[in-house]
Structure 1
Amino acid sequence: MRKLTFAMNVTLDGYVAAPGDDLGWSGGEGEGPDSSASDELFQWWSDRVAATSLALYGRKLWEAMSPHWPTADQQPGATPAEIEFARRWRDMPKVVFSSTIDEVAWNARLVTGDAVTEIARLKAEDGGPMDIVGATLAGAAMRAGLIDEYAIVTHPVLVGGGTPFFTALDSWVKLTLVENRTFSGGVVLTRYETRR
């Protein structure tokens, strides 16, 4: 059975996007990990992509990432770290869940049916770890009890509203802290595993 991790940048007040789907607070403007923040944090995200066997994307985050990262390694002025991340992201297998887009590219396949059923099927397969990215998609997986780990990269900013990292749940989910790490600029990574 595959391990499923929900990993995203989040504000201190718990949002993955500010009102209007604004991601500017992370410095990435919707283009992925904050390349203007610490090189160490950017490398952590890049290494995470390299270690992920399959990424599960919701439509909004797919539409934020896919215009930039597939060709970011070919852009003038791209740093070695950005080139590495772009290549890793492009090569990583991806599943995009959406009922409103018609096609996807860049080593991705589209699922238009029931997301929870497909995520459960993918988890039951043999294979390496999966990451789920996108709060709405992850919320459905949370409510279904499919998330094994939460990797929360908290940025020291308050945005006052927007898209929350966590969804409303019908019952408590007990977690165990497995890592706590501070990056430059006051960004803090906390990783929790779900207690089963």
Structure 2
Amino acid sequence: MRKLVYGMNVTLDGYIAAPGDDIGWSAGDGPDSSPSDELFQWWLDQEVGIDVMLYGRKLWEAMSSHWPTGDQQPGATPAEIEFARNWRDTPKVVFSSTIDKVDWNARLVTGDAVAEITRLKAEDGGPMRVGGATLAAAAVRAGLVDEYEIVTHPVLVGGGTPFFNALDGWVNLALVETRTFPGGVIMTRYETRR
């Protein structure tokens, strides 16, 4: 059975995007907000260990607008080059009822996301990562997420897209790792207690 991981960069007040889907707080548009090389390398190390990436439409559109050619961008670092190559090579499943085509080693699922994630989890293989707040919320509510990787940035945005949406009940977690990165960024990793 595969493990399902949900992890993203998050503001201190719990948002993955500010109003208007603005993620500039994590990409270097504000003071002290650019990701450190150490943090980027950590994300790369996590992604290399993932066998299947599961994306909602918005995150798919964001990732597929940059990473297919991210290794060809002027000034791309060795880690960015490796991240782009890994992104292209890793199988991806995109869940959306509003787009009709995906590429870059991806397949589109327009039906029941929870049923498909449940089916994928039951297969043998390495871990899967779910990304995108709406898709992840469905997986969390269905009890499918085994691990949470929360990378908290020291910024408050006051609203936007929350990392956690409303739950149907409590989810008990066990803290398994913490790590501090430059700029006051803190990673906490939790496993779901079953």
Fold shared, TM-score > 0.5 on shorter chain: yes
- 1:32-66 deviation line (CA, Å, top 9, x unaligned): xxx94211100011111110000100000011110
Give SS of 1:6's match: strand
Q: Distance in 1 between matches of 2:28 and 2:58?
A: 15
Q: Is 1:21 aligned to 2:21, yes or no?
A: yes
Q: State the match for 1:122 in structure 2.
A: 120
Cα distance, 1:80 vs structure 2: 1.3
Corresponding residue to 1:112 among 87, 110, 113: 110
Q: Deviations over 1:148-187 (max 9, x none)?
A: 0100000100000000001111211100000000000001
Matched residue, 1:32 = none
> 2:156 is matched with which residue?
158
Superimposed CA distance per residue, residues 84-135 of structure 1 (whole angstroms, 9 cap, x where no aligned partner): 1111111111100000001111111110000000000000011100000111
Task: Report the counterpart of residue 142 of structure 1 in structure 2.
Answer: 140
Greater than 4 Å deviation, 4+ residue runs: none
TM-score by length of 1: 0.95
3-state SS in 2 of match to 1:179: strand
State the alpha-carbon separation in 2 of the partners of residues 150 and 117 from structure 1: 21
User: Secondary structure of the equivalent of 1:145?
Assistant: coil
- Partner in structure 1 of residue 44 of structure 2: 46
C-alpha change, 1:93 and 1:19, in structure 2 (3 Å) is same
TM-score, structure 2 as length reference: 0.96
Instruction: Give the distance between the partners of 1:28 and 1:36, measured in 2 at CA.
Output: 4
3-state SS of 2:170 partner: coil
- What percentage of residue pairs aligned between the two structures are identical? 79
SS at match of 1:7: strand
In structure 2, what is the Cα distance between the partners aligned to 1:60 and 1:163? 11
Distance across 2 between alignment mates of 1:12 and 1:154: 6
TM-aligned CA distance change 1:46 to 1:7, over 3 Å: same
**2:12 aligned partner, one-letter code:** L
2:97 aligned counterpart, secondary structure:
coil
In structure 1, give the amino acid aligned to 2:2.
Answer: R
**What is the aligned residue count?**
191
Which runs of structure 2 are paired with 1:1-196 in the superposition (5 Å)?
1-27=1-27, 36-196=34-194
Which one-letter code corresponds to 1:109 in the other structure? R
3-state SS of 1:116 partner:
helix
RMSD: 1.2
Q: Measure how far apart 1:28 and its partner are.
A: 6.2
Structure 1 residue identity aligned to 2:111: G
1:101/1:28 CA distance change after superposition, 3 Å? farther
Q: 1:179 & 1:40 partners in 2: Cα distance?
A: 17
Q: Gapped runs of 5+ residues in structure 2?
A: none
In structure 2, how many angstroms separate the alpha carbons of the residues matched to 1:85 and 1:169? 33
